[in-house]
Structure 1
Amino acid sequence: MELGIVGQASGLFAATNIDDILILSLFFDQGAGHRGSTRRIILGQYLGFVAILAVAIAAAFGATFLPESVIPYLGLLPLALGLKAAWQAWKQRGEEDDEQEAKEGGPSALEVAAVTFANGGDNIGVYVPVFATAGVGGMSVYAVVFLLLVALWCFAGRYFATRPLVAKALSRWGHVLLPLVLIAIGLLILIEGGAFGL
């Protein structure tokens, strides 16, 4: 039974977080060469995911910290961060010799956490009914498996960002891709959730 729940938890995590590997790769590329950036990215990913888990677990017990009508507006977080990253990339255009400075130390833990949490708004909707039917024991297994898999996701994101072919593409296009991906995620969350009557 335990093994079955571990398998279900792993499958659920992978299905609901596959897009995080791309986002993490972009964050790791943005932080490349900056002291402490890997630690900040991993910390941010954990902070964001723990917040997702906390809200989902609380909701499974009947508490609602986030009314369902608020969840679509979480799209404003990655949208704002994407616009900020686009503005920084635009300001730094033509200064490719000073590429390390243009990256400004990579993303902060709070930026990564905000994107992770906002991108996981739909995860909450999936996790709540699963957690509610799994009971306390099953919910604990899900939480432990999810937290272990966050580490694997961070490793995978860093791995892809450091592969020569991927790293070359990210170093060339990452400053354009990161804002585009964040803006797209933000708009997708807003539109799918019907925020602002979209």
Structure 2
Amino acid sequence: MIKDIVTAVFSYIGTTTDYFVVLLLLFGKYQSRKETKPVIIGAYIGNALLVLVSLAIALLLQQVPAEWLLGLLGLIPIYMGIKSYLSDEDEGDEIEERLNNIQPTSILKDVILITFAACGADNMALYIPYFTTVSVTTLPIIFAIFIVILTVVIYSAYKFVSVPMVKKFFDRQGDLIQMIVYVVLGLYVLIEAGSIQHIIKLIF
């Protein structure tokens, strides 16, 4: 149980490093109470959908009979983390371009879409392998942890939106933090499922 909680905290913090920058951009554009409300609601809905879709896929994949084969999914977050770190693409510029096209009447819908566009592939690449390693009984605790961390991230972004140094730090170091978390979690999945041990036995 303790291991699952620690892993949940570690994994979700890793997926929110990039999203923190997205929230900074969103709160920077929408600063009135009327505008920030749909941003906050959209952030919760967008992240909830990502988690639920990933969980549904993970539950389907758990039908794979050989656990070590399932553990090979751990290679996906490792690949995504390294790829994101080595990429020259500026995600912030892409989000700012999307923000310029948002209409005041569709903030909620567009925040959900931006959440999927900015974080969908990376987050699901981590969530799906992770959810294949946890039992259904621990899911309520994991979801509660995710909600608490997301709430802290949203509140922090709202408070720090006027501090340029914060955005600069996450622009520079966010990809490194994310890569470390993704690689560590990927290795955890590979080891937890016995994939690495099985491959070593096959070779030697």
Aligned to 1:42: 40
- Does the aligned pair in 2 maintain the 1:30–1:107 contact within 8 Å? no
The CA deviation at 1:43 is 0.3
Distance change >3 Å, CA 8–CA 82, structure 1 → 2: same
Partners of 1:41 and 1:112 within 8 A in 2: yes
Q: TM-score, normalised by structure 2?
A: 0.57
CA distance in 2, matches of 1:159, 1:151: 12
CA distance in 2, matches of 1:84, 1:49: 18
Q: How many Å apart are 1:166 and its aligned residue?
A: 5.9
CA offsets, 1:79-131, max 9 Å, x none?
Answer: 98654545x6xxxxxxxxxxxxxx97597111111111222322112111211
- Report Cα offsets for 1:3-23 as digits up to 9, x if no partner: 332221111011122011111
> For residues 94 and 13 of structure 2, what CA distance do their matches in structure 1 show?
26
Distance 1:19 1:80 in 2: 13
Maintained 8 Å contact 1:41/1:107: no
Aligned to 2:33, what secondary structure does the other structure show? coil
Q: Which residue of 2 aligns with 1:110?
A: 109
Structure 1, unpaired ranges of 5+: 64-77, 89-102, 171-176, 178-198
| Matched residue, 1:134 | 134
The structure 1 residue matched to 2:55, chosen from 51, 57, 60, is 57
State the alpha-carbon separation in 1 of the partners of residues 99 and 105 from structure 2. Answer: 11
Aligned equivalents of 1:108, 1:162: Cα separation in 2? 21
Q: Mean alpha-carbon deviation: is it higher for 134-143 or for 145-154?
A: 134-143
Contact 1:52/1:121 (<8 A) preserved: no
Is contact 1:44-1:110 (8 Å) kept? Answer: yes
Q: Does 1:16 align with 2:15?
A: yes
Query: Normalising by structure 1, what TM-score?
Result: 0.59
Deviates more, 1:114-123 or 1:6-15: 114-123
For 1:74-113, list aligned pairs within 5 A: 82-86=96-100, 105=104, 108-113=107-112
* Cα separation, 2, equivalents of 1:144 and 1:121: 22
**Structure 1 residues 144, 84: closer, same or farther in 2, change over 3 A?**
closer
Does the CA contact (< 8 Å) of 1:16 and 1:123 recur in 2?
yes
Amino acid at match of 1:36: K
Aligned to 1:120: 120
- Residues 22 and 95 in structure 2, CA contact (< 8 A), matched pair in contact too: no
Amino acid at match of 2:41: L
Q: Which residue of 1 aligns with 2:143?
A: 143
> How far apart are the structure 1 equivalents of 2:29 and 2:105?
5
Distance 1:79 1:62, change over 3 A: farther
Describe the superposition over 1:124-183 as per-residue Cα deviations: whole angstroms up to 9, x where unpaired: 1211121112010223322221122111110111011144x669x99xxxxxx9xxxxxx
Equivalenced residue count is: 139
CA distance in 1, matches of 2:106, 2:145: 26
For residues 41 and 99 of structure 2, what CA distance do their matches in structure 1 show? 20
